[in-house]
């Protein structure tokens, strides 16, 4: 009987891998890559990045005694090979689904996931903490951080390097240099790494690195394996050595034998080590190699055919933002667009093409993005920062200190607000309403649909103060989008349905679930539009004519828009029963977005049921 992946099927844990003869590792890597492609094509998920880390993953688990030795994967969207080799191969069919495997490392999921990651540039800090803990506890264990060249653009990575270089801990940092993050990497570090790869060979290497490279193929032979000319295995002095690391590399990240040889030798060195590994996103699947951005996070597809262009469908909120950005930029030459390495994800590809001098990708550097925008605003420009809600959390101090206190007119386009589905708790935009509405000078709009999103972006842009507009991932109600730049009134909502007894105050896209629920309740539905400033006049009008109020938001209940309503009622001396519906005080894991909302009681039937239960409404009302 022909068993697919015969060698891979014998690997149930890294201990099995370490029993293999070294010459079988190439075969294992080939099978692992084929299984990975087959698996992800059925479930969807991150592909290009995982295809690029197959040999590195095999080598790490072969050389190091995981999980006793700690491996921290930066971001973690390249850990599918790691999951497959650490006892989760048979569960890969559940990837990113409700109750299934996470698309990122999770400590609760496996002892081999040493640290939970999903946001960029945390690995060196975490691994350094683990290395320091091992030294303090007298344990002889290794701590390894695997970080991409895109993630190395973030300040946190260099903060950790600066600390590690003087710590004298046994820390290994592996730079997985594939010349890609999600969008192509930018900035001086990217240029520096390119120079490392394109410089001349040096005949001699430092003595420490000579020992590390013993057993690896000759330098010139290895260099010929690169598609581009490569720098010698060791430069005279590198940036990383200036930080106090022993630098080794670059080496071919798809040569598993070389990786094993080098890692075996580095394993015996003391102090902070830095290994520069060159890989290719999409390695082994020609379509992904040719277009790693398209295959970064594809849905289900046929590997034999590849991704197919879908038929024309409703525009997503991201596309609505991208179109608005181009139209507003054409109308106002003061507009500049800023993204922290999310050109495709934030819908800015067309803007970059049409307005290249007014487009700024600052790399994975959210803090810098916000303060950079503040500097632009000081000089009379109109910055629009396109950033995921979950990533704005990383620049909270800059938002307060550099933008809000100075009351600068920066527009924040907050994509992925609310639940995001398959990416799970780490990417959910659940907290922007609470953390924004408590900041003086900052306003926050919550559009109910695609057309309202465009209109409220125009409203935000027209202000001379900081304004954020939050909108979810994907499509909404499918409302036709106008091509004008017309704005809606600032801080004003509207009544969308008039009913009796109960009024539902909806903030954002759950308005349409509220309208469905209201039909069975004969309830009033208010499209509040703004979490801050709250339309207090409209709120008090509705409160005066209804027995009870319901607030509805796809965001954290604690401190959210519902809390704003309660504060306004209390300030007006009004005592009224209020039911707050939103996201509870817990992290909500990955799964289908509609299912996740239903589980939180935020679909139409759940909203209706909650209202009936809270206010003891009979079924005939």
Catalytic residues: 281, 366, 394
> Six-digit token pair at 289?
């190699």
Give every strand in the sheet of 502-507, ordered side by side.
Answer: 494-497, 524-527, 502-507, 548-556, 578-583
Question: What's the Cα-to-Cα distance from 352 to each of 320, 358, 361, 454, rounded to whole Å?
Answer: 16, 8, 9, 19
Helices 561-571 and 536-544 pack at an angle, to 10 degrees, of: 70
Q: Which two tokens stand for residue 326?
A: 């181009």
**Which run of H or of E encompasses 410?**
none
- Alpha helices, DSSP H, located in 462-583: 511-521, 536-544, 561-571
Sorted by sequence, the CB contacts under 8 Å of residue 291 that are 6+ apart come out as: 282
Strand partners, 553: 507
> Is 87:110 a contact under the CB 8 Å cutoff?
yes
Cβ burial, residue 464 (10 Å; 0-12/13-18/19+): exposed
CB 504 within 8 A of CB 524: yes
What is the Cα–Cα distance from 36 to 464, expressed in whole angstroms?
50
**The token pair that represents 348 in the structure block:** 């800015």
Q: Crossing angle for the helix pair 256-266 and 25-43, nearest 10 degrees?
A: 110
């Amino acid at each position: 009987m022909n068993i697919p992946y015969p060698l891979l099927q014998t690997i149930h844990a890294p201990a099995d891998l370490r029993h293999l003869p070294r010459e079988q590792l190439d075969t294992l890597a080939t099978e692992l890559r084929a299984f990975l492609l087959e698996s992800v094509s059925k479930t969807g998920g991150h592909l290009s990045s995982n295809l690029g880390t197959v040999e590195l993953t095999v080598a790490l688990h072969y050389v190091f005694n995981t999980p006793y030795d700690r491996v921290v994967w930066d971001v973690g969207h390249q850990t599918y090979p790691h999951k497959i080799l650490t006892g989760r191969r048979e569960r890969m069919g559940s990837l990113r689904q409700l109750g299934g495997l996470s698309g990122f490392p999770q400590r609760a999921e496996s002892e081999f996931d040493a640290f939970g990651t999903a946001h960029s540039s945390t690995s060196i800090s975490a691994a350094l903490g683990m290395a320091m803990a091992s030294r303090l506890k007298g344990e002889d264990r290794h701590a390894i951080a695997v970080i991409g060249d895109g993630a190395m653009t973030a300040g946190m990575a260099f903060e950790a390097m600066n600390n590690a270089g003087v710590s004298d801990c046994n820390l290994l940092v592996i730079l997985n240099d594939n010349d890609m993050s999600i969008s192509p990497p930018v900035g001086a570090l990217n240029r520096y790494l390119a120079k490392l790869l394109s410089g001349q060979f040096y005949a001699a290497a430092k003595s420490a690195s000579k020992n590390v490279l013993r057993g690896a193929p000759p330098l010139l032979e290895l260099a010929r394996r690169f598609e581009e000319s490569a720098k010698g295995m060791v430069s005279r002095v590198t940036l990383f050595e200036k930080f106090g690391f022993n630098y080794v590399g670059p080496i071919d990240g798809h040569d598993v034998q070389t990786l094993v040889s080098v890692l075996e030798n580095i394993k015996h060195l003391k102090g902070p080590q830095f290994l520069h590994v060159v890989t290719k996103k999409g390695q082994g699947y020609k379509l992904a190699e040719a277009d790693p951005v398209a295959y970064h996070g594809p849905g289900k597809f046929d590997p034999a055919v590849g991704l197919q262009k879908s038929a024309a469908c409703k525009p997503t909120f991201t596309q609505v933002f991208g179109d608005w950005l181009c139209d507003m930029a054409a109308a106002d030459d003061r507009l500049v667009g800023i993204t922290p390495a999310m050109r495709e994800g934030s819908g800015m590809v067309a803007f970059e093409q049409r307005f290249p001098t007014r487009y700024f990708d600052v790399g994975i550097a959210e803090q810098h993005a916000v303060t950079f925008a503040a500097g632009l605003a000081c000089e009379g420009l109109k910055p629009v920062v396109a950033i995921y809600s979950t990533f704005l959390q990383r620049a909270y101090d800059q938002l307060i200190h550099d933008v809000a206190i100075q009351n600068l007119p920066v527009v924040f386009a907050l994509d992925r607000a609310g639940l995001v589905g398959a990416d799970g708790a780490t990417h959910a935009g659940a907290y922007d309403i609470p953390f924004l509405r408590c900041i003086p000078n900052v306003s926050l709009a919550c559009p109910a649909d695609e057309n309202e999103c465009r209109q409220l972006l125009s409203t935000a842009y027209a202000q001379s103060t900081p304004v954020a507009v939050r909108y979810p991932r994907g499509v909404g109600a499918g409302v036709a989008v106008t091509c004008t730049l017309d704005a809606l009134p600032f801080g004003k909502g509207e009544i969308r349905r008039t009913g009796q007894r109960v009024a539902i105050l909806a903030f954002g896209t759950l308005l349409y679930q509220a309208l469905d629920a209201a039909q069975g309740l004969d309830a009033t539905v208010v499209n509040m539009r703004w979490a801050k400033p709250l339309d207090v006049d409209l709120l008090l009008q509705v409160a005066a004519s209804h027995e009870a109020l319901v607030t509805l938001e796809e965001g954290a209940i604690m401190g959210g828009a519902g809390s704003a309503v309660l504060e306004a009622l209390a300030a007006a001396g009004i005592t009224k029963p209020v039911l707050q519906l939103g996201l509870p005080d817990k992290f909500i894991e990955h799964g289908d977005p509609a299912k996740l909302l239903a589980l939180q009681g935020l679909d139409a039937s759940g909203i209706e049921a909650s209202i009936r239960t809270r206010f003891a409404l009979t079924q005939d009302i």
